[in-house]
Amino acid sequence: MEYSHSVSPPSSYLHDILNKAVHVLENEWYENSKFREIPSELKVLYDYNNHYLLLTAIANVINAERIVEIGTAAGDSLWSWLRLENIKSVSTWDIFPIETCTGWFHNNVHQQFVQEFIQKDKRWTQYVEDLTQQEIWFLRKDLFENTDIIFIDGPHNGIFENTIFQNILGLKNERNILLIFDDILVSSMVDFWRNITLPKLDATSVGHQSGTGLALLLPYHER
């Protein structure tokens, strides 16, 4: 194994968020009798080797109201955010409309459950756009500057993520924004994650088995 020097500082803020989120997950596990009643077809959503429950817990802990996510796919992560009453809006991006992405579902029960859940909720908007195009980014950057969480779950090739990340570093946000990255352990994402110099924390042990990373974007006047 090659040793890699950390280029980012430790963050008690991120550790505190993750610690509180784990407590939320633990309580949910026991309050729901270890999810024994969950149909096997929905285990992907209630699996602690995935990140869907963790996303909900994190948004709960920081009392998030506005979410931005990149990578709508079929809407599983939308389900995570919309489970919370404190969420006022979710702005989600993909290059494909959500209704065309049914191939992400594991089975018909999974598809029906997620689609019915998110379709009855009016708090989310999908933008079918490529955010790596600078004219699109500048058109939408106000949504990014005024959000509580940015969840990046794109193609995981490291190139797309770096382009988006460089744009994020240019935001004029007035308050902290929590960044959540999916699949940071995928080979094409490892260097991207290592090179992030913001305060960050690897949350894989309680997140997605392919890697979940948290980073803190401080207000622009503090960076």
pLDDT tens figures, 71-107: 999 999 999 999 999 999 999 999 999 999 999 999 9
Neighbours of 103 (CB within 10 A): 8
Give the model's pLDDT for residue 31: 85
Q: Taking the model in full, what pTM does it have?
A: 0.94
In the sheet that holds 200-202, the strands lie side by side as 124-128, 89-94, 66-70, 149-152, 177-182, 212-217, 200-202
Is residue 29 predicted with pLDDT exceeding 70?
yes
**Per-residue pLDDT band at 4 (split at 50, 70, 90):** low
- Residue spans of the domains in the chain: they are 12-222
Q: 12-222 has which CATH code?
A: 3.40.50.150
Q: Give strand pairing partners of 200.
A: 215
Half-sphere exposure (Cβ direction) of 83: Cα atoms closer than 13 Å: 20
Half-sphere exposure (Cβ direction) of 139: Cα atoms closer than 13 Å: 9
* Interaxial angle between packed helices 12-31 and 52-61, expressed in degrees from 0 to 180 and rounded to the nearest 10: 120
Handedness of CA 73, 137, 68, 191 (dihedral sign): positive
pLDDT tens figures, 117-170: 999 999 999 999 999 999 999 999 999 999 999 999 999 999 999 999 999 999
